[in-house]
Amino acid sequence: MSEAAGKDLTGRPYKIEIQDVSFDYVDRRTCFTALQHINLNIREGEFICILGSSGCGKSTLLSLLSGLNRAKEGRILVNGEEIKGPGIDRAVVFQQYSLFPWQTVKENVLFGIKQSGKKYSRKEREELALQYVESVGLLNAKDRYPSQLSGGMKQRVAVARALALQSDVLLLDEPFGAIDPKLRLELQELVSKLCVEHKKTVVFITHDIDEAILLGDRIVVMEPGRIRTILKVRLDHPRVREELIRTAEYEKLHRQLIAAFYDQVEENIDTEVAL
Amino acid sequence: MSKGLDKGMYLELGIATVLFVINLILTLTFPYFTIHKAYYDSRAYITVLVAAFVIYVLYLFHSRKKSASDVAVVLFGFFILWEVSYKLGWVHNDLLIPSPEGLFHVYLEKTPEILSDVWGSLQLLFWGFLLAAVFGTLLGLLAGWIPRVREVLLPISNVITLIPPLMFSAYLIMIFTTFRQAAIAVIFFAVFWPTFQGTVARVGMIDKQIIEAARTMGVGTFGMLAKVIFPYCLPGIIGSISKSLRGAFMCLSGAEMLGINLGIGYFIEKYKSFADYRCVLAGILTVGLITTLIDLAVNKLQKILVKWEY
């Protein structure tokens, strides 16, 4: 089922369109509405950060994007086609590493390459896997098993495996939530760099305001079940944290996000819904 | 062995060595103080003693465990007690309780018989176990992953596993034409259902995130079984092998005692009816030895196949 994708103001088609999506978790007695009528359009190559506190439905939204859950109402289009389930056009990095424990770092990445559906010879696959392993800085650890890696290293492998799938879209579900702050900064810069390099369209779930400003082109702030506001980040890539925090734009965004995040009413938040 | 041992460990090694030497002296020179019907030559017993001592010394230097010396002291102490009590005539019934020389002499007297019986048992065990492990694992993976298969098979298996396998082995022996087939069937039924249930449970415990990660990489139902669930469950499957092997061996011995005229269980049963308890004991000892060796082999296999958990 292919249909014309919606277009942005400059006439380029959207990469991802979330159209009037609702989702609720139903079990025998209760019905919990996780998302209500979400609308969001994402352009090719955009880095979207979805910011919200826990329980606001941001992870649910990502599970719908990945296809692990189906929307109860509305639909999600990727490249103009409605998604029907998980697919190799969208790579996912989970919060809990989710590496295959029986495979080494290199083998985990190789798995991604094999699943990408592209035709490579055995030798090409091996070389490509090593390239991805190197790009996340783990060449020394390529033959180690996940149980022998620290949390930060595991998440690097998960990123390499997601890149190896060679999809246009990359979805990350609070990938650095469980990693200590110093390592997190390294990983954020790495992901930012790699996503620009590989021209990925990214949806990045986070509850960390600084992380959202550092990485995002736009920041979607969620409140339970709904999008509260969308803020554009007018800062050039690559962003370096130390320089970033001294800019006026950072100050302003940070203030606005805090206000939105902690549900304080503040005037002149320039809202840009569905830009 | 270059590093040597701690001082205390040398002392313990010395004690164990003294006990070992006492054992040798006792068996070679200590006279019988009572009139026993049978005197056996002590070659086999001495071989066992020396072998035990060599294994102990090698293990001690290899592992540097203090418990090695403790085990050796207990073992050689037990042999001394046995030998002395026998030769002093504290044991009156040498039909039921043989001397250590007499017990181990069985292995010299009946070498071909024991070897062929052990070989026979191992063959039965191998085929019955292999078939059961392969099919049990395959069906278990399938049932663990596909709920509708599970809901049919699990209740059935719950009923069957409650019946001790030996109960229906008498029946199985009747319906199969040869004892070999019957014995293999008994082992198969003893191993198949526990393997199946264990695999189903293990698939149920699989980390959901790993499945989801595989799904987002476009892995389908059967790809999931082969590429994700099987390797994920492999450590557990191999871990359960040694447990179910023990069960298999028990059933095998039982089946052999029920009428199959082959194998080490049959050996025990035969000499029991001849009232030759020396041979019965030797047979029992052999079963213990073989099970231990198989256990060690499985552990080794696990370390080779499941590298990621070590």
Nearest-by-CA chain A residue for B228: A100
Banded model confidence at residue B1, pLDDT cuts 50, 70, 90: very low
> Is B131 in CB contact (< 8 Å) with chain A?
no
b or e along B107-134 (b: 16 or more beta carbons within 10 Å of the residue's beta carbon)? beebeeebeebbebbeebbebbbebbbe
Q: Which of B127-141, B203-217, B248-262 has the lowest mean pLDDT?
A: B248-262
CB-based contact B281:B101 (threshold 8 Å) = no
A119-131 pLDDT tens trace: 889 999 999 999 9
CB-based contact B308 A98, cutoff 8 Å: no
Closest CA to B141 of B207, B233, B209: B233
Question: Quick check: A53 pLDDT over 90?
Answer: no
Q: Which of A97, A147, A165 is opposite residue B217, by nearest beta carbon? A: A165
Closest CA to A16 of A49, A42, A47: A42
- Test the A interface: residue of B202, B210, B216 with most A CBs within 10 Å: B216
Chain A residues whose CB is inside 8 A of the B217 CB are 86, 88, 91, 111-112, 115, 161, 165
Q: Which helix or strand (DSSP H or E) is residue A39 part of?
A: strand A31-43
Chain A residues whose CB is inside 8 A of the B306 CB are 102
A62-110 pLDDT tens trace: 999 999 988 888 899 998 888 888 988 999 999 887 899 999 999 999 9
Q: Which of B210, B215, B234 is opposite residue A68, by nearest beta carbon? A: B215
According to the model, what pLDDT value does residue A265 have? 41
Cis-peptide, bond into residue A238, ω within 30° of zero:
yes
CB-based contact A271:A259 (threshold 8 Å) = no
d(CA B157, CA B164): 13
Nearest-by-CA chain B residue for A96: B209
- Mean pLDDT taken over chain A: 85
DSSP A110-151: HHHHHHTT----HHHHHHHHHHHHHHTT-GGGTT--GGGS-H
> Is B210 in CB contact (< 8 Å) with chain A?
yes
| Helix, strand, or coil (residue A161) | helix
| Helix, strand, or coil (residue A86) | coil
Chain B residues whose CB is inside 8 A of the A103 CB are 231, 308
Chain A residues whose CB is inside 8 A of the B218 CB are 86-88, 115, 117
**The amino acid at A89:** D
* Residues B225-253, mean pLDDT to the nearest whole number: 84
| Helix, strand, or coil (residue A73) | strand
Chain A residues whose CB is inside 8 A of the B219 CB are 115
A206-229 pLDDT tens trace: 988 888 988 999 999 988 888 888
Q: Which of B210, B212, B307 is opposite residue A100, by nearest beta carbon? A: B210
According to the model, what pLDDT value does residue B39 have? 66
Which value, in Å, is the radius of gyration of the alpha carbons in chain B? 25
Strand order in the sheet with A73-78: A31-43, A14-26, A73-78, A81-82
Nearest-by-CA chain B residue for A100: B210
Q: Which helix or strand (DSSP H or E) is residue A156 part of?
A: helix A151-164
Closest CA to A72 of A29, A6, A20: A20
Residue-range domains of chain B with CATH = 7-109 (no CATH), 111-309 (1.10.3720.10)
Strand order in the sheet with A47-51: A90-93, A169-173, A201-206, A47-51, A218-223, A226-232
B152-187 pLDDT tens trace: 999 999 898 888 877 777 787 788 888 788 888 888
User: How close A155 comes to chain B (CA, Å)?
Assistant: 13
CB-based contact A178:A96 (threshold 8 Å) = yes
Per residue, what are the HEC states of chain B? CCCCCCHHHHHHHHHHHHHHHHHHHHHHHCCCCCCCCCCCCCHHHHHHHHHHHHHHHHHHHHHCCHHHHHHHHHHHHHHHHHHHHHHCCCCCCCCCCCCHHHHHHHHHHCHHHHHHHHHHHHHHHHHHHHHHHHHHHHHHHHHHHCHHHHHHHHHHHHHHHHCCHHHHHHHHHHHCCCHHHHHHHHHHHHHHHHHHHHHHHHHHCCCHHHHHHHHHCCCCHHHHHHHHHHHHHHHHHHHHHHHHHHHHHHHHHHHHHHCCCCCHHHHHHHHHHCCCHHHHHHHHHHHHHHHHHHHHHHHHHHHHHCHHHC
Closest CA to A62 of A29, A40, A46: A40
CB-based contact A88 B217, cutoff 8 Å: yes
User: How close A29 comes to chain B (CA, Å)?
Assistant: 23
- The Cβ-side half-sphere exposure at A180, using a 13 Å CA radius, reads 4
A231-275 pLDDT tens trace: 888 887 777 777 888 888 888 888 888 887 766 444 444 444 444
According to the model, what pLDDT value does residue B179 have? 79
**The amino acid at A60:** T
- The Cβ-side half-sphere exposure at B81, using a 13 Å CA radius, reads 6
User: How close B184 comes to chain A (CA, Å)?
Assistant: 33
